[in-house]
């Protein structure tokens, strides 16, 4: 399905530092996110995990006054390089949000097709890609008879899979998910986790989650963020990055151990 | 014994709260019904007051031109035409402009200019209509006559009767439409701004995340989401234009007895016709006819409102299953 080479799907963060106005939100982050694997970002509230995630497809700068220092490489290209449009970045790095957000006035079909329509694809290609994406998101069988219905008529879990289908319809290199299951019941959560394990064959997946069991179940690598206080101001910091089973069985950093054992956070 | 005590405790609580909801319900019901009663009363007065004219002219009054109080020869067509055309022009101009202003204020305006600009827009709505009329007479009409109407009438107007001369004093349907447009612009802009402000952010992010530009996001996610509210705002503006009296009267040219083929020609609106003639109506027939004109205006606004309801209802319906109940 993907024509990209595996190297082009690697994401490298170099001294990535998000700001809100003059306030630095997170200490500079240096991490290599491995291609075609699932990387989980965990940590307590306010540690900047969503902020870092949103820096990876330039959604951070949508917030007024927000800005980013440092570099994010997709393959070997800096997505913050001069002359790079954020729209182009977002086409190649898809995103799924915490709250399922099908576009209200569009049908299920159009919700998946919207990115392709913006690109001006031909109709037959759109038809094909919509079906492909809905199948990949394990939603096709549930919606194939009501493609012209509203996305809002679906259950929460279905809506979230619709949003995943919308993101992968553009065949991005990377898929970012910001706590995609926090509004869902366990069965829907399970389905999405299965889906992500399936999707990592083609996509580099980064998922922010509050749920440590979820990270343990699906992630190959895990990043642990913590909140620190410098001069009274809270600031996020990446404390540990390792294979998921190492993080959960033999964490190197005592703060990680405190967090995953439930003593803090 | 203990049980009886407990029961009496309950009763003291219940006595305090028992009638509260009923009284509140009756009170609000009363005021709600008062609205219906008011509409009915206005309609009734206009219906009874116009009986003499209705008896004389019948339905053909609506399709007849002519206005001669001495010969008691009246027709409503010029007033209906003038009302609809001037309001239509106003909506055509103020609709797109107002929506764009609302989009700018809600989506694109830098934070620190937001409140000053919003304040200016609302200020525009607070200016009394007679001041718009005066500005129209002294500033806009002369400007429009020599710089817009005359050149257009001389060139395009030669082959296009709707824009033909003579331009004469410069007052007419077009000028009235433009003045009305300025008057309803703030209504449309402010309502558009408000309905766009309540579009949830996740809808915007959904569009941005598939690589949409700001404009694509506004066009495909924000405006469709707010469509029903924007149409509501347009209809509120149109309603204001239909009923506007003073400003329209001052710049429309007061041609009551015929329909000018050109938009630069004079005309009259129903509201301004009633306002200008009712204080010095010659006889009961004249007065009754003016009340009939008012009744016609009442009918027009009712139709427009019903049509607006229908449009809003249609627009609020997205694909199957998305309806807000």
The reply to whether B7 touches chain A by the CB within 8 Å rule is: no
More confident residue, B13 or A108: A108
Q: What are phi and psi of B319, to 5 degrees?
A: -65, 170
- Is residue B72 in some structural domain? no
Residue B312 has pLDDT above 60, yes or no: yes
CB contacts, 8 Å: A150 with chain B: 318-322
Q: What is the pLDDT of residue B169?
A: 77
The answer to whether residues A145 and A117 touch, using CB atoms and an 8 Å cutoff, is: no
Categorize the per-residue pLDDT at B2 as very low, low, confident or very high, splitting at 50, 70 and 90. Answer: low
Segment 225-264 of chain B within 8 Å of chain A by CB: 225, 227
Categorize the per-residue pLDDT at B106 as very low, low, confident or very high, splitting at 50, 70 and 90. Answer: very high
pLDDT over 70 percentage in chain B: 94
- Which of B209, B220, B223 to probe the A interface (max A CBs under 10 A)? B209
* Alpha-carbon span B78 to B57, nearest angstrom: 16
DSSP state of A2: -
Q: How far is CA A161 from CA A130, A136, A177, B76, B321, in A?
A: 13, 9, 11, 61, 18
- Is residue A92 in some structural domain? yes
- Is residue A256 in some structural domain? yes
Question: Are A149 and B319 inside 8 Å of each other by CB?
Answer: yes
pLDDT tens by residue, A73-122 = 998 899 998 889 999 999 999 999 999 999 988 999 999 999 999 999 99
Domain span at A183: 6-260
Chain A with chain B: Cβ pairs closer than 8 A: 94
**pTM across the whole model:** 0.85
pLDDT tens by residue, B214-259 = 999 999 999 999 998 999 999 999 999 998 888 888 998 888 888 8
Question: Are A148 and B213 inside 8 Å of each other by CB?
Answer: no
The reply to whether B220 touches chain A by the CB within 8 Å rule is: yes
- Is residue A1 in some structural domain? no
Angle CA B71–B72–B76, to nearest 5: 125
- Is residue B240 in some structural domain? yes
Q: What is the pLDDT of residue B17?
A: 67
The reply to whether A120 touches chain B by the CB within 8 Å rule is: no
Q: What is the pLDDT of residue A166?
A: 94
Residue A2 has pLDDT above 60, yes or no: no
Q: Pick from A62, A105, A146: which is nearest to B318 by CB?
A: A105
CATH number of the domain bearing residue B249: 1.10.3720.10
Categorize the per-residue pLDDT at B183 as very low, low, confident or very high, splitting at 50, 70 and 90. Answer: very high
Residue with tokens 């209509």: B129
pLDDT tens by residue, A120-147 = 999 999 999 999 999 988 899 999 999 9
Question: Among all residues of chain B, which has the CA nearest to that of A90?
Answer: B211
Question: Are B318 and A118 inside 8 Å of each other by CB?
Answer: no
- Is residue B290 in some structural domain? no
Residues facing A18 on adjacent strands: A68
- Is residue B218 in some structural domain? yes
Question: Are A118 and B321 inside 8 Å of each other by CB?
Answer: no
- Is residue A205 in some structural domain? yes
pLDDT tens by residue, B244-256 = 888 888 998 888 8
Q: Provide the CA B325 distance to its chain's centre, in angstroms.
A: 26
Q: What was the ipTM of the complex prediction?
A: 0.90
The answer to whether residues A223 and A42 touch, using CB atoms and an 8 Å cutoff, is: yes
- Is residue B53 in some structural domain? no
pLDDT tens by residue, A19-47 = 998 889 999 999 999 999 999 999 988 89
Question: Are B319 and A148 inside 8 Å of each other by CB?
Answer: yes
CATH number of the domain bearing residue A26: 3.40.50.300
Q: Pick from B205, B318, B321: which is nearest to A97 by CB?
A: B205
- Is residue A72 in some structural domain? yes
The reply to whether A31 touches chain B by the CB within 8 Å rule is: no
Q: What is the pLDDT of residue B4?
A: 66
Residues facing A229 on adjacent strands: A234
Q: What is the pLDDT of residue A265?
A: 56
- Is residue B4 in some structural domain? no
Classify A36 in phi/psi space as left (phi over 0), alpha (psi -120 to 50) or beta: left
- Which of B211, B217, B224, B324 to probe the A interface (max A CBs under 10 A)? B211
Among B11-15, B41-45, B160-164, the range scoring the smallest mean pLDDT is B11-15
- Is residue A265 in some structural domain? no
Burial of residue A44 (number of CB atoms within 10 Å: 0-12, 13-18, 19+): middle
* Alpha-carbon span A174 to B305, nearest angstrom: 51
Q: Pick from B210, B224, B322: which is nearest to A150 by CB?
A: B322
A6-25 average pLDDT score = 90
Our count of domains for chain B comes to 1
pLDDT tens by residue, B189-204 = 999 999 999 999 999 9
> Nearest-CA neighbor of A72 among A35, A137, A17, A118?
A17
Our count of domains for chain A comes to 1
Question: Are B203 and A104 inside 8 Å of each other by CB?
Answer: yes
pLDDT tens by residue, A203-262 = 999 999 988 889 999 999 999 999 988 888 889 999 999 999 999 988 888 888 888 888
Q: What is the pLDDT of residue A3?
A: 54
Categorize the per-residue pLDDT at B322 as very low, low, confident or very high, splitting at 50, 70 and 90. Answer: low
Helices (H), chain B: 2-17, 20-49, 51-57, 77-103, 111-126, 129-135, 141-144, 150-154, 173-197, 201-209, 214-217, 223-225, 227-243, 246-252, 270-277, 284-316
Burial of residue B318 (number of CB atoms within 10 Å: 0-12, 13-18, 19+): buried
Question: Are B321 and A62 inside 8 Å of each other by CB?
Answer: no
CB contacts, 8 Å: B200 with chain A: 101
Q: What is the pLDDT of residue A1?
A: 45
The answer to whether residues A108 and A151 touch, using CB atoms and an 8 Å cutoff, is: yes
- Is residue B287 in some structural domain? no
Q: What is the pLDDT of residue B297?
A: 93
Q: What is the pLDDT of residue B324?
A: 47
Cα end-to-end span (Å), chain B: 52
Domain span at B260: 78-269
A9-15 average pLDDT score = 92
Q: What is the pLDDT of residue B313?
A: 85
Q: What is the pLDDT of residue B325?
A: 36
- Is residue B144 in some structural domain? yes
């Amino acid at each position: 399905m993907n024509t990209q080479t595996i190297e082009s799907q690697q994401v490298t963060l170099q001294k990535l530092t998000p700001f809100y106005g003059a306030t630095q939100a997170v200490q500079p982050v240096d991490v290599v996110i491995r291609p075609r694997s699932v990387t989980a970002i965990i940590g307590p509230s306010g540690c900047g995990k969503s902020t870092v995630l949103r820096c990876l497809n330039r959604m951070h700068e949508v917030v007024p006054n927000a800005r980013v220092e440092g570099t994010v490489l997709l393959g070997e290209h800096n997505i913050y390089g001069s002359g790079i449009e954020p729209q182009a970045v977002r086409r190649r790095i898809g995103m799924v949000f915490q709250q399922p957000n099908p576009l209200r006035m569009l049908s299920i079909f159009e919700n998946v097709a919207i990115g392709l329509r913006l690109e001006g694809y031909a109709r037959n290609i759109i038809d094909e890609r919509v079906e492909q994406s809905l199948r990949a998101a394990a939603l096709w069988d549930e919606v194939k008879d009501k493609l012209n219905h509203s996305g809002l008529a679906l259950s929460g879990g279905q809506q979230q899979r619709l949003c995943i289908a919308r993101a992968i319809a553009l065949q991005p290199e990377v898929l970012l998910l910001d706590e995609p299951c926090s509004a869902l019941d366990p069965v829907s959560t399970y389905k999405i986790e299965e889906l992500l394990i399936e999707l990592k064959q083609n996509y580099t997946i980064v998922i922010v989650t509050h749920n440590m069991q979820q990270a343990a179940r699906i992630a190959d690598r895990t990043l642990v963020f913590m909140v620190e206080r410098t001069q009274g101001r809270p600031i996020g910091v990446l404390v540990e990055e390792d294979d998921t089973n190492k993080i959960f069985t033999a964490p190197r950093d005592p703060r990680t151990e405190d967090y995953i054992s439930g003593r803090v956070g | 014994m203990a049980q009886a005590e407990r029961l009496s405790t309950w009763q003291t609580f219940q006595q305090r709260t028992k009638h509260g909801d009923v009284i509140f319900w009756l009170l609000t019901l009363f005021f709600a019904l008062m609205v219906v009663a008011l509409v009915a009363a206005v309609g009734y007065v206009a219906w009874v007051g116009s009986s003499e004219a209705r008896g004389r002219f019948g339905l053909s009054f609506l399709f007849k031109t002519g206005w001669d109080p001495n010969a008691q020869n009246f027709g409503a067509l010029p007033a209906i035409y003038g009302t609809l055309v001037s309001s239509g022009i106003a909506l055509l101009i103020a609709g797109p402009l107002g929506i764009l202003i609302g989009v700018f204020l809600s989506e694109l305006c830098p934070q620190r200019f937001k409140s000053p600009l919003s304040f200016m827009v609302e200020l525009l709505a607070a200016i009394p209509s007679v001041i718009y009329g005066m500005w129209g007479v002294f500033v806009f009409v002369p400007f429009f006559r020599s710089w817009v109407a005359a050149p257009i009438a001389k060139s395009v107007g030669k082959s296009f009767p709707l824009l033909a001369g003579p331009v004469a004093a410069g007052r007419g349907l077009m000028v009235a439409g433009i003045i009305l447009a300025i008057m309803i612009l703030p209504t449309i802009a402010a309502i558009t701004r408000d309905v766009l402000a309540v579009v949830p952010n996740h809808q915007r992010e959904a569009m941005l995340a598939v690589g949409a530009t700001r404009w694509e996001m506004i066009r495909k996610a924000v405006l469709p989401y707010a469509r029903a509210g924007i149409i509501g705002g347009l209809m509120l503006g149109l309603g204001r234009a239909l009923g506007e009296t003073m400003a329209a009267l001052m710049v429309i040219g007061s041609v009551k007895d015929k329909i000018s083929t050109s938009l630069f020609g004079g005309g009259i609106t129903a509201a301004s016709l009633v306002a200008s003639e009712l204080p010095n109506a010659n006889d009961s027939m004249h007065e009754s006819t003016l009340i009939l004109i008012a009744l016609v205006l009442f009918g027009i606004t009712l139709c427009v409102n019903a049509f607006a309801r229908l449009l809003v209802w249609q627009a609020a319906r997205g694909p199957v299953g998305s309806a807000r109940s």
